[in-house]
Amino acid sequence: MPTEGDGRRRRADNTDRPLIAVAVLASFVAFLDGSVVNLALPAISAQFGAGLALQQWVVDGYLLTLGALILVAGAVSDQFGRLAVLRTGLVVFAVSSVLCAVAPAGWVLVAARCVQGVGAAFLVPSSLAMINARFSGAAQARAIGTWTAWTGTAFVIGPLLGGVLVDALNWRWIFGVNIVPLAVTLYLTTKLSADPAGSSDGRRVDLVGAVLNAAGLTGVVYALIEGQRLGFSHPAVVAGLLVGLACLCAFPWWERRTPHPMLPLDIFAARNFAVGNLATVFLYAGVSLGMLIVALFLQETAGLSATQAGLATLPVPVLSFLLARRFGALAGRYGPRLFMAVGPMVAAAGYVLMAATREPFDLWTQMLPGLVVFGLGLTITVSPLTAAVLAAVPPPQSGIGSAVNNAISRIAGLLAIAFTGVIVGSAVDFDGFRRGALVTAGLFVIAGAVSALGIRNERSDLARVDADAVARCQDRAAPPPSLASSRENP
C-alpha cells in the first residue's frame, strides 16, 4: 500500500529533477563553450583576415568579463533571487551565442564574447546556489555529485566536438550549438518555483570593487594585446596601461574599507590559502598559455585539421577526468605538498619535450608524448591544489574561498593569453611555439617551487569541504562522487 511518505517523496522528485536538470544544462553549456573555442581560432582568424591579436581577444574577451564578475555573482543572486539571476544569465548567454555565431566582423565577435562572459559568470554560481538551497546533508551531496559527473564530461567531449564542428560545418557552429540546450533549460525553469530575493546572508553587491577590477583588467589586457599592433609607445596603449594599473592598485585599498567586499582580504591570512592561490596564478597562466599555443601551432603551422588537433589534445582532459580524484584522495591521506610540488614539474617536463618540436613535424613522436606527460602532471596537481585551498579556510568561508580561487585562475589565464604576442611574436610558428613552450614550462616550475616552499601538509581532504565549494572548482578538479557516501557515513 502506498504511504503518505511515498507520496511526498514522489512530489519532491517531480520538483527536484527539473532543478537538477536546469543546474546541469546551464553549467554544461558554459563549461563546454570554454573548452572548444581554442580549436576554432585559426578558422576565425582566416575568415576575418586578422592575426594573433584577434585570436587573443576572442579568448580574453570572455575571460575578462567572467573573471571580473564571478566574485560578485553570489551577492547578485542573494539580492535578486537565484532563479531570476539564472534565467537572466541563460538569456544573456543565449543572445550572445547567437551574436557570436552571426558576427559579421571580428570586433562584433569580441564584443559578443565579452557579453557571453557576463552570462557565464552567473550560470555556474546560480545553479549551484539553487542546489544548495533546495537540498541538505546527504541529498545535497548526491545532487552536487550528479552535477559534477555530468558537467565534467564537457571537458572531455569539448575538444573533439569543437574540432568536428569546425571541420564538418564551420566555426560559427561552436556557438550556434548552444541555442538548443539553452532553450530547453529556459523552458525547464518555468517548472521551478521562484525563490525570494534578498533571502540569504545579507551580502551586498560591491559595485565599486567590480568596476575597479573590470577597468583594471581591461586596461592592462588592452595594453598588452594592442601594444603588439600599435606599438607600446602609442598613447592609447600607454593610457590603457596606466589606467589599468591605477585601478588594480586602488582595488585592494577599496576592498579593505568597504563593509561588503567582493574579495575579503582577511581570507588570505590562512597560509595554505595564500600560497595555494599564488601557485594557482602560475599554474593556470601556464595551462592557458600552453593550451592556446598548442591549438594554434597544430593547425596553423603543423597543418592539422581542427578535428585532428582536438584528438591530439584529448589525453589532457581524459587523464584528468579519470585520475584526478585518485590523486585528490592521496593528497587527503598524505598531504598536498608533494603532489602540488611534483605535479607542476611533471607538467613542465611535458612542455620541455614539446619545445624540441622541429621540421619535419611528426605528431606521434614530437607532440603527443609531451601532451601525455603534461596531462599527467596537471592531473597530479589539480585536486590536491583545490583541496589545499578550500580546506585552509573555515567551512563558513569555503564558498568565497572557491570563488576567489576560481577568479584567480581565470584572471591568470586572461593575463597569460594577453602576453602571448609578446612571447611568441606575430605567429605561432616553430620558433614562436618553442619560446612559448619554454615560458609555459617556466611558469609550471615556479608553481611547483612555490608549493614546495610554502604549502604545509595540513589535512586537505575534499570530503570534509562543503560540496558546493568543491563543485565551484569543477573545471579544475575531477567529479567527487565520494562526497555523497562520506556525508551519509561520517
Same domain, 381 and 430: yes
Number of structural domains (the chain) is 3
Same domain, 249 and 353: no
Evaluate whether residue 347 is within a structural domain: yes
Evaluate whether residue 2 is within a structural domain: no
Evaluate whether residue 270 is within a structural domain: yes
Evaluate whether residue 52 is within a structural domain: yes
pLDDT of residue 238: 94
Q: Kindly report the pTM of this predicted structure.
A: 0.87
Chain-wide mean pLDDT for the chain?
83
- DSSP-based three-state secondary structure for 430: helix
Please write the tens of the pLDDT for every residue from 417-433. Answer: 999 988 988 788 999 99
Same domain, 150 and 243: no
Alpha-carbon span 40 to 299, nearest angstrom? 10
Q: Cell numbers at residue 189, please?
A: 525553469
Query: Half-sphere exposure of 189 toward its Cβ, with a 13 Å CA cutoff?
Result: 26
Q: Is pLDDT above 90 for 92?
A: yes
Domain that holds residue 405: 266-490
Last residue of a domain, one of 202, 220, 249: 202
Please write the tens of the pLDDT for every residue from 118-173. Answer: 998 888 777 777 777 777 767 776 777 777 767 767 777 777 888 888 998 899 99
How many other CB atoms are there within 10 angstroms of residue 173's CB atom?
18
Evaluate whether residue 43 is within a structural domain: yes
Alpha-carbon span 292 to 350, nearest angstrom? 15
Query: Angle between the 398-418 and 73-80 helix axes, to the nearest 10 degrees?
Result: 130
pLDDT of residue 487: 40
Same domain, 197 and 51: yes
pLDDT of residue 471: 62
Q: Cell numbers at residue 371, please?
A: 601532451
How many other CB atoms are there within 10 angstroms of residue 423's CB atom?
17
Same domain, 246 and 288: no
330 phi, psi to nearest 5 deg: -65, -40
Same domain, 391 and 429: yes
How far out from the chain centre does Cα 340 lie? 19
Same domain, 379 and 243: no
Last residue of a domain, one of 216, 235, 259: 259
Same domain, 100 and 175: yes
pLDDT of residue 386: 83
Query: What's the full length of the chain, in residues?
Result: 490
Same domain, 274 and 409: yes
Same domain, 79 and 13: yes
CATH number at residue 415: 1.20.1250.20
Alpha-carbon span 224 to 216, nearest angstrom? 13
How far out from the chain centre does Cα 196 lie? 29
Same domain, 224 and 90: no
The pLDDT-based confidence of 356 (bands split at 50, 70, 90) is very high
Long-range contacts (CB closer than 8 Å, 24 or more residues apart) made by 403-406: 403/70, 403/71, 403/73, 403/74, 403/125, 403/472, 404/71, 404/263, 404/267, 404/277, 405/276, 405/277, 405/280, 405/473, 406/70, 406/472, 406/473
Q: Cell numbers at residue 129, please?
A: 546556489
Segment (H or E) for 183: helix 179-189
How many other CB atoms are there within 10 angstroms of residue 336's CB atom?
33
Same domain, 179 and 301: no
277-286 burial code (b ≥16 CB/10 A, e <16): bbbbbbbbbb
Evaluate whether residue 374 is within a structural domain: yes
Compute the average pLDDT of residues 205-215: 88
Pick the residue with more confidence: 13 or 321? 321
Last residue of a domain, one of 217, 244, 259: 259
User: Cα angle vertex 173, ends 171, 175, to 5°?
Assistant: 95
Evaluate whether residue 470 is within a structural domain: yes
pLDDT of residue 343: 94
Q: Is pLDDT above 50 for 7?
A: no
Please write the tens of the pLDDT for every residue from 292-312. Answer: 999 999 999 998 999 999 899
Evaluate whether residue 1 is within a structural domain: no
